[in-house]
């Protein structure tokens, strides 16, 4: 079977050390300084569109690409579902308010995931997640996981003990990451409506189903012994990873710099998902939330 992690990583995300090991040092350092409204607007754009500027450009490669099909987006973070060309002036790209995101706990509920969802919904002021409960997933072959038994054809898998360890040789142990599956660092892509509303995660390199995995904690000996370190995510890293899955791709002060989750991150997420900023809102006319 195609080695999904190595192949796509080499093409799309050549510099994934930060995403692969989110939280490795996120909790350290000084408290981030508060952003001005102008800085919040800039951070919304550079994290949502994976650009530089205020953000670290920690996802190398293209932000937008042309879809291979209505379910596949191989070489970008976003693809329009109808095969539209790459936009010349991208706009705010996020899940629509009415489009609840199905979430599944793998094997057991983890309170950190619950706390993160509650916190995020409290910040934005409305329900975002369709909580499907606990499901059993056969992990005997992590590169070939069957999710056909789940209630929906897309969603988030919330998985404890399946972060990527030190597989990239970075020297620190991943506490959490968002990827196309367990134990890998390959970030997912999204199929997007022409109004810039995210419809669902794209299928990735032969994997069945349109699912993104939110992985917490590295466990030494997992994945057939390939995970060589232990790392346990604190609550702020868990929330940080959820935000990655919601379209905050790049790190900035208060979101990976000077802590995993701070006031700047809260304001950026609130602004992205504000009722005043629907999908497709131009970045130069965002309503900035406090």
pTM given for the model: 0.89
Mention every residue, 6+ apart, whose C-beta is less than 8 A from residue 118: none
Confidence of residue 11 (pLDDT cuts 50, 70, 90): very low
Strand order in the sheet with 154-160: 129-135, 101-106, 154-160, 210-216, 176-179
Query: What is the spatial distance between Cα 32 and Cα 259, in angstroms, rounded to a whole number?
Result: 7
For residue 275, the model assigns a pLDDT of 98
CA nearest to 191, candidates 77, 63, 100, 21: 77
The tens digit of pLDDT for each residue in 101-141 reads: 999 999 999 999 999 999 999 999 999 999 999 999 999 99
As a whole number, mean pLDDT of residues 21-48 equals: 77
For residue 261, the model assigns a pLDDT of 98
Query: What is the spatial distance between Cα 242 and Cα 163, in angstroms, rounded to a whole number?
Result: 14
Range with top average pLDDT, 29-33, 119-123, 206-210: 119-123
Q: List the structure tokens of 11.
A: 């093409």
Report domain extents, the chain.
Answer: 4-24+56-89+98-234
Query: What is the spatial distance between Cα 85 and Cα 97, in angstroms, rounded to a whole number?
Result: 25
CB 242 within 8 A of CB 103: no
DSSP assignment of 164-200 equals: -TTTT--SS--SEEEESSTT--PPP-EEE-TTSBEEE
Q: List the structure tokens of 276.
A: 């005043």
The tens digit of pLDDT for each residue in 132-187 reads: 999 999 999 998 999 999 999 999 999 999 999 996 677 889 999 999 999 999 88
Distances (CA, A) of 209 to 48, 99, 153, 164, 180: 24, 18, 6, 21, 10
Query: What is the spatial distance between Cα 6 and Cα 186, in angstroms, rounded to a whole number?
Result: 8
């Amino acid at each position: 079977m195609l080695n999904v992690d190595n192949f796509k990583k080499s093409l799309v995300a050549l510099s994934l050390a930060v995403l692969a090991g989110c939280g490795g040092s996120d909790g350290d350092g000084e408290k981030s300084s508060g952003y001005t409204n102008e800085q919040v607007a800039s951070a919304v754009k550079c994290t949502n569109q994976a650009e530089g500027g205020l953000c670290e450009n920690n996802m190398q490669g293209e932000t937008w690409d042309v879809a291979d099909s209505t379910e596949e987006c191989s070489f970008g973070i976003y693809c329009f579902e109808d095969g539209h060309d790459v936009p010349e002036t991208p706009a705010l790209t996020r899940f629509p308010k009415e489009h609840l995101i199905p979430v599944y706990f793998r094997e057991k509920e983890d309170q950190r995931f619950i706390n993160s969802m509650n916190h995020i919904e409290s910040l934005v002021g409305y329900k975002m997640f369709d909580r499907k409960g606990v499901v059993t997933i056969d992990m005997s072959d992590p590169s070939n996981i069957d999710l056909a038994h789940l209630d929906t054809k897309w969603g988030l898998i919330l998985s404890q003990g399946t972060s990527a360890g030190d597989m990239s040789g970075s020297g620190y142990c991943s506490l959490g990451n968002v990827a196309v599956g367990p134990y890998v660092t390959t970030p997912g892509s999204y199929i997007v409506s022409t109004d810039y509303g995210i419809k669902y995660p794209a299928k990735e390199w032969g994997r069945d189903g349109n699912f993104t995995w939110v992985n917490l904690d590295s466990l030494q000996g997992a994945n057939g012994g390939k995970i060589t370190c232990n790392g346990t995510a604190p609550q702020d890293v868990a929330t940080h990873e959820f935000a990655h899955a919601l379209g905050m791709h790049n790190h900035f002060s208060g979101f990976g710099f000077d802590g995993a989750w701070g006031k700047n991150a809260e304001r950026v997420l609130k602004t992205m998902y504000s009722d005043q900023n629907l999908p497709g809102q131009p970045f130069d006319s965002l309503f900035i939330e406090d």
